[in-house]
């Protein structure tokens, strides 16, 4: 299997994890009092929707991911700041760890695909 196809498959797994964080935050009660949390919801949605149309075109997929990763990275950084303010619950702590791992994983795949 070509490396680019494998890269897309790996990214899709990572995006599935990001989607679960998105779903958790979107449906949390805390988001009503802390709408800043919606930034990660929107960023994951935007990235996932842009990528899902390119799963059959690995080069296009990776190019689109390169375009979207900055916005996702920024949203994850803001989420890292905002989530503990919104809630100290373990679910929020784990969601921060998970989102940061997703961004790191995606960035690593991009780095490996370029070089």
Angle between helices 58-86 and 90-114 (to 10 degrees): 150
| Model confidence band, residue 56 (pLDDT cutoffs 50, 70, 90) | very high
What pLDDT, in 10s, does the model give residues 14-26? 999 999 999 999 9
Q: What's the pLDDT score for residue 48?
A: 98
Q: How confident is the model at residue 1 (pLDDT cuts 50, 70, 90)?
A: very low
Burial readout 41-70 (b: 16 or more C-beta within 10 A, e: otherwise):
bebbeebbeebeebeeebeebbebbeebbe
pLDDT value at residue 115: 59
Q: Report whether 51 contacts 62 (CB < 8 A).
A: no
Per-residue model confidence (pLDDT) at position 2? 55
Per the CB < 8 A criterion, the answer to whether 109 and 10 are in contact is yes
pLDDT at 3 over 70: no
What's the chain's average pLDDT? 95
């Amino acid at each position: 299997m070509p490396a680019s196809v494998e890269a897309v498959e790996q990214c899709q797994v990572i995006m599935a994890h990001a989607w679960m964080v998105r779903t958790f935050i979107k449906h949390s009660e805390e988001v009503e009092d802390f709408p800043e949390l919606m930034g990660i919801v929107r960023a994951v949605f935007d990235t996932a929707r842009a990528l899902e149309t390119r799963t059959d075109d690995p080069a296009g997929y990776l190019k689109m991911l390169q375009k979207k990763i900055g916005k996702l990275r920024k949203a994850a950084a803001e989420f890292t700041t905002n989530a503990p303010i919104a809630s100290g619950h373990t679910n929020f702590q784990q969601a921060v760890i998970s989102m940061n791992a997703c961004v790191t994983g995606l960035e690593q795949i991009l780095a490996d695909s370029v070089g």
